[in-house]
Amino acid sequence: MSKEVVISGMSIISSLGLSLEENWNNIVAGKSGVKNITHFDPSTLATRVAAEVPPEFEELSRQYIKKRAGSQMTRVTRMCVTAAKIAVADSGIDFNQVDRTRCSVIMGVVNTGNSSIEKDTTPQNTVFKTMTNSMPAWISLEYELMGPNFAVNTACASSAYAIAFGYEMVKNGQSDIVIVGGADSIINFEEIEGFNALYALSIANEPAGQASKPFSLDRDGFVIGEGAGVLVLESKEHALARNAPIYAEIAGCAITSEGYNIMAPMKDGVGMAKTIELAIINAGVQKNEIGYINAHGTSTELNDRYETMAIKQVFGDLAKQVPVSSSKSMLGHTIGAAGAIEAIITALSLKNGILPPTINYLKPDPDLDLDYVPNKSRAADIRVALSNSFGFGGHNATLVFRKYQG
């Protein structure tokens, strides 16, 4: 018999803050975390802005990770482990009181950030800093968890995939608790130069805070962000038995592959639409129940056009009644962390009854005519919400969340 799956702990580390509360308050206020790059000298690059995690992260990290272990991690791995420890504390789990063989870890990891900006890499720690399973491994080591522990790489959809796998493991009774999420930090010369070569990044450097403008007519590419998002998924019965806080339920999901192009989404958003449709069916909800979509919304020409077309294909006449917003307008594109961070924002939207805005929506694109929650957050008592993630390589994921009526 399948189990109901709830979220009992969450945390975000991003350019907009180091705690869940700080992030949520800044998101609701419509603030931008995009600034001039400070991690390295970007003066020779076309793109010179990014959404960097504040430097206070280093002090926060030292509170959660011992020096010895920290020396074997990259900055982004420390972000992931720090976020995981905050999420676990938020959930109130005492791992001495649960069956550790039924506790698992799945992290979306695109890379471990052992790049030119990483400090103190030595022959002794190169392997640990580079191995792509390091994030889930360190988390399972921290709590001595003995359920499955692994990394998923599906590019920008990685942590949404991690949530989908975690959801299935709890739903099917394989695990009672799964710590899921992801972290990413690719704000370095090589990655930005590479994405510039693909014309994928915004080069609207002035003013930095307006560079990411999803669904706008003058959108010119995404802005790289860094950060981590971690959720504690748990069976509802397990969470209730220990009086855990419950943020929202996960009602269902879909993951698909487009088999089409290494970079571009399938024409007219057909693959995206198929994923959204399958997720709605999987969740067993009606389309008219869906009160909000947290879009992938990258601020690229193709994604925003095709995602809009996909939503129209799925929702038909209802499409313009469903608010759609992009958190990337504020946080930039956090790549491997994006799916998890945006899932958390979606869960908080349900819990708090507030839809986060799409900021920098100053020039509407006449072809993109949905309700993008322009520039200001909005109160709305919603019951069901979706979060989309689409990655280079044709990796699509849609997660369906339901308000917890406890």
Size of site (CB under 8 A) for other proteins: 4
Beta bridge partners of 374: 358
Instruction: Estimate to the nearest angstrom the gap between the alpha carbon of 40 and the chain centroid.
Output: 25
Element (H, E) at 153: none
Instruction: Give the residue among 194, 230, 217, 195 at the shortest CA–CA distance from 332.
Output: 195
Site string for other proteins, 67-86 (x = CB under 8 A): xx------------------
Distance CA 17, CA 248 (A): 22
The residue among 60 and 341 lying less far from other proteins, judged by its C-beta, is 60
Instruction: Give the residue among 252, 253, 249 at the shortest CA–CA distance from 404.
Output: 249
238 is catalytic: no
Distance CA 50, CA 188 (A): 10
- The strand order across the sheet containing 177-184 reads 149-152, 103-108, 177-184, 227-235, 5-13, 248-257, 395-403, 384-391, 290-294, 324-325
Distance CA 18, CA 258 (A): 35
Q: Which stretch binds other proteins (CB under 8 A): 66-74, 249-257, 269-277, 329-337?
A: 66-74
The residue annotated as part of the active site, out of 80, 238, 253, 296, is 296
The residue among 72 and 174 lying less far from other proteins, judged by its C-beta, is 72
For residue 130, CA distances in Å to 9, 78, 340 come to 28, 13, 22
Element (H, E) at 385: strand 384-391
Residues 173-202 that bind other proteins (CB under 8 A): none
Least distance from other proteins to the Cβ atom of residue 127, Å: 11
Least distance from other proteins to the Cβ atom of residue 129, Å: 13
Sign of CA dihedral 310, 314, 318, 324: negative
DSSP string, 296-350: ---S-HHHHHHHHHHHHHHHGGGGGGS-EE-THHHH-B-GGGHHHHHHHHHHHHH
Q: Which stretch binds other proteins (CB under 8 A): 65-73, 176-184, 199-207, 229-237?
A: 65-73
Least distance from other proteins to the Cβ atom of residue 72, Å: 8
**By CB under 8 A, residue 96 contacts other proteins:** no
Q: Which stretch binds other proteins (CB under 8 A): 38-46, 63-71, 372-380, 391-399?
A: 63-71
Least distance from other proteins to the Cβ atom of residue 65, Å: 11
Instruction: Give the residue among 239, 313, 277 at the shortest CA–CA distance from 386.
Output: 277
Residues 101-130 that bind other proteins (CB under 8 A): 124
The residue among 141 and 362 lying less far from other proteins, judged by its C-beta, is 141
The residue among 65 and 106 lying less far from other proteins, judged by its C-beta, is 65
Tokens 């956090």 found at: 334
Helix H segments across 13-74?
20-28, 57-64, 67-70
Least distance from other proteins to the Cβ atom of residue 67, Å: 5
The residue annotated as part of the active site, out of 39, 80, 103, 333, is 333
Integer Rg of the chain from CA: 19
Least distance from other proteins to the Cβ atom of residue 123, Å: 11
Identify the residue among 66, 120, 317, 405 touching other proteins (CB under 8 A).
66
Q: Which stretch binds other proteins (CB under 8 A): 24-32, 64-72, 285-293, 386-394?
A: 64-72
Residues 272-311 that bind other proteins (CB under 8 A): none
Q: Which stretch binds other proteins (CB under 8 A): 25-33, 60-68, 129-137, 243-251?
A: 60-68
The residue annotated as part of the active site, out of 103, 156, 238, 253, is 156
The residue among 114 and 388 lying less far from other proteins, judged by its C-beta, is 114
Residues 20-59 that bind other proteins (CB under 8 A): none
Backbone angles phi, psi at 149, to 5 degrees: -145, 115
The residue among 66 and 119 lying less far from other proteins, judged by its C-beta, is 66
Least distance from other proteins to the Cβ atom of residue 63, Å: 12
Distance CA 81, CA 349 (A): 25
The residue among 97 and 124 lying less far from other proteins, judged by its C-beta, is 124
The residue among 68 and 381 lying less far from other proteins, judged by its C-beta, is 68
Q: Which residues are catalytic?
A: 156, 296, 333
Residues lying near other proteins in the complex (CB under 8 A) are found at 66-68, 124
